[in-house]
Chains A and B, each alone.
Chain A
Amino acid sequence: MNPPATPAAVTAHHHTPPQGFLRKHVFSLDHKVIGKQYLDLALVAVCTGMLLSWLMRFHLAWPETPIPGLAKLSPNGAAGGVITPEYYLALMTMHGTIMVFFVLTTAPFAGFGNYFLPIHVGAEDMAFPRINMMSFWVTLVAFLVLVSGFFVGDGPPLSGWTAYAPLSAVGKDAGPGQGVGQTLWAVSITLFCVAQLLGALNFITTTLDLRTKGMSLARMPYSTWAWFITSVIGLIAFAVLMPACILLILDRVAGTSFFIPAGLVISDRLQPHAGGSPLLWQHLFWFFGHPEVYIAILPGFGIVSHILPVFARKPLLGPRVLIACLVAIAFLSYTVWGHHMFLSGMNPFSATLFSVPTLIITIPATIVTLLWIGTIYGARLRFTTPALFCLGFVSVFVSGGISGFFLAQPSIDTYLHGTYFVVGHFHFVMGVAAMFGIFAATYFWAPKMFGRMMSETLGKWHFWLTFVGVYCVFMPMHYLGLAGNVRRYSAFTDDYLKPLIPLHRFITIAALFTGAAQLIFLFNLIRSRFRGPRAPDNPWEATSLEWSTTSPPPFDNFGGRPPVVERGPNEYGVGSGARGADYLMQAAAAPPGVH
């Protein structure tokens, strides 16, 4: 399909917004509303996930101290306010699942991607608006199904976000939380996969088919490039996880044995299964699971590459190299899943095989990092809140990436596997870095999405407290790992772990403070959404198409007149260098009729 170019086609495509409340705000087909719905869902999810991590951290530091009010919320899991071992594991499982799926996938990819990808390419909407709406509502149902696990009879699931079989597959015999709760987990993830597959198809089709006149692939903004590549990764990854989850459900409810071998005795009962393989689940899960890490972080790469030049007031260094690196990372992400399984009992020869591409993936990642640092060289940096979060992103991504050097080597993984070193590593590199990308995107695009500016003062307080806070939380986890501190323990009763408890207390205090600092963000976001000063069309003096339209954009994004693109998004630092004249918009002039 070619983008409309003739005036007749323009008129034909001029859509009027729906009038009813439900169609406008709830069951909307508008990608902008759907994008905001995804972001709101991610906000609810991230608050839930963080609350769970607070409970876990508090319990680890002071295992005997009752938590006020918790006994009322969960009379079984925390009788008297003290978290039981099984409830701790359930909190951990829910924290991981909610954060990875419903925050790190929905916010940077489905949320911002939905809102801005069509605008970035000059389209009126996604290619398939109904599928887009369905994708969001299925995600919401998936979230509700997951959270309902907290309220079922035998408790929430406790086998971790990785749900290793056979613990996750054999059902109630395996202990509390392995009954209905675990089935709900598998159903939720199956639904989530369906939603993401629909979303990925939509992103890919929109990028390839709905670009406006002059918007060649090479002229697309880097965030849109990242969303496009992420969709391709997602299309393959979720297509593997979905059947894996269906097989898991069948093992649980239909008596099949995909992941359960013969001869298991659980709760003194010989299990009626034979012929399955626990390693098969691990292979299927991590074949999805490692690309999922890149689904979480590549949008962050795109967001930083998009935003950094805006505030550096100079072009991104090596844009073609950046895109080549993103493609290389996407490809390599499918060759490294076995590095999660070095010690899993698979053939040890394959550990070396999986180690090499894992180490090779650091080359494109290093190049991208150097491109950002090289972009800052000679810049005229404007230290707005989104700029600070981009700089913070680079720093925490480096910190998290470096520890990957250790874990990528089977010989060192022999010691560090299953310790807090791994926890520190993945929280920095995919948790904190991706969150910094989300924060940068929120401060950067909130004016466009809500037509209101966020408070810079509050934003900067939020940045400084968070930046220092995350280092206090996650850097010490590397020290714990070096000392052999095992992860996924609800209490540290081993002799060699007891001396490490003071460091755990420090981490907990830092986590409580850093978490509390997020209330500043929440307050800022909600207040500015309704009370912030009106945003101009292009407050940051940026080049991409969303800044050529109004804040917020009209229903069909460009007032029925698709923009004509004349150049790429990287035209900063041109002209005299005086403020206001050092950049060139992608669309030469704002389309008439918008203002």
Chain B
Amino acid sequence: MGKLFAVVLTIITVVSTAFFAARTWWLPVDISAHGHAIDRQLMETMVSSGVLFVLSQLALAVFVWRYGDRDDGRRVRTFPGGVTPMVLFATVLVGAEILALTFVGSKVWAGIYQTPADPGSLQIDVQSEQFAFYFRYAGADGAFGATHPELINEANENYFGLDPAHDVSARDDIVVPTLTVPVNRPVALTLRAKDVSHAFYVPELRIQQDFVPGLAIPLHFTATRTGKYEIVCTQLCGLGHYNMRAFIEVVSPAQFDQWLKDKAAQQ
């Protein structure tokens, strides 16, 4: 029975690890300026914890194989050196791994979430609601109109609660259901929620952030590759949660300027 356990556990360990190693299912292509740092951190964690995973499962398998009761009157033996070296070993090994991961990882995190956006960033306001995203560009005046929740009206497509009648800066705001950004230019989003919590997640951008009602949450990134990618909601928001999505289109600067002009003309 012990040998069977050892064999089954070894097979489980090898097969599980093989799919990670072969990258059968893996992260999509990275299209962000910061993503390589996250991917490297993920890889380092994958390798170091993968080694720990394989070693501990195999140690378990080997000991179970070796130390079954054969009823031969053999006396039991204590682990060589007893418990103290084991505790020291675990503390030093895991402690070193934690230190290494934290030192590198907290820099990666800080680079994305704790640094302010580049002052020259393209500013975009994002409104989330059950079950859609809307994106607002400041328009020609470069200023966003103020938002008034009591003016939010789905039928009039006033998703942000703008007041163009009284608010000059709101008049040229461009509101669209797709996020269009120029490639290689820093983008600064302000995330707002109209009703309940939602989240902004673009796997290719390696970025994720909750929308929280009552808060305007900043988030910034730079997309480095043109194309069309999905933005999905990852915070449970109600029955249409699975269907809450938008697209991000990363285009060349020239295309972006043209697009913005076209949209401004339609306002």
* Interface set of A (CB-CB < 8 Å, partner B): 84-86, 89, 158-160, 164, 166-167, 170, 174-178, 260-266, 268, 270, 276-279, 312-314, 317-318, 321, 343-345, 348-349, 351-352, 355-356, 359-360, 362-363, 366-367, 369-371, 373-383, 388, 391, 394-395, 398-399, 402-403, 405-406, 409-412, 414-415, 417-419, 460, 464, 467-468, 471, 475-476, 478-480, 482-484, 486-496, 500, 503, 572-573, 576-579
Contact = CB atoms under 8 A, between A and B. Distances in A.
B109 A414 contact: yes
B239 A176 contact: yes
Given A278-B214, A383-B68, A415-B203, A489 B79 contact: no
Contacts, number: 328
Contacts of A380: 67-70, 74, 76
Interface in B205-219: 206-215, 217
B243 to A, nearest CB: 6
Contacts of A174: 130, 195-196, 238
B259 interface: no
B110 to A, nearest CB: 8
Interface string B234-262: 11111111110100000000000000000
A383 B113 CA distance: 51
A239 to B, nearest CB: 26
Contacts of B108: 411
Contact of B86 (A89, A314, A367, A379): A367
Nearest to A487: B234
A486 B149 contact: no
Given A415-B206, A479-B19, A160 B45 contact: no
Given A85-B242, A265-B194, A383-B1, A411 B209 contact: no
Nearest to A576: B73
A7 B34 CA distance: 76
A411 B41 contact: yes
B241 A263 contact: no
A313 B72 CA distance: 13
A313 B161 CA distance: 72
A415 B86 contact: no
Given A86-B239, A414-B206, A491-B242, A379 B76 contact: yes
A398 B61 CA distance: 13
A376 B67 contact: yes
Given A167-B196, A381-B68, A489-B242, A356 B102 contact: yes
Given A352-B109, A496-B203, A371 B83 contact: yes
A578 B72 CA distance: 8
Interface string B36-79: 01100110011011101100110110011001111101111111
Contacts of B53: 398-399, 402
Contact of A351 (B83, B113, B239, B240): B113
**Which of B45, B97, B206, B242 is most buried by chain A, counting CB atoms within 10 A of its CB?**
B242
A476 B16 CA distance: 8
B145 to A, nearest CB: 16
B196 A391 contact: no
Nearest to B233: A486
A411 B38 CA distance: 6
B214 A277 contact: yes
A490 B244 CA distance: 12
Contacts of A359: 98, 101-102
27 contacts: A85-B242, A175-B238, A263-B214, A264-B213, A266-B194, A278-B213, A279-B212, A317-B82, A349-B114, A352-B106, A355-B106, A356-B98, A363-B91, A366-B90, A367-B86, A380-B68, A381-B64, A381-B67, A405-B45, A409-B105, A419-B234, A479-B19, A484-B28, A491-B243, A492-B242, A493-B243, A572-B76
Contact of B56 (A348, A369, A405, A482): A369
B17 to A, nearest CB: 10
Interface in B96-142: 97-98, 101-102, 105-106, 108-110, 112-114, 129-130
Nearest to B97: A405
A431 B16 CA distance: 19
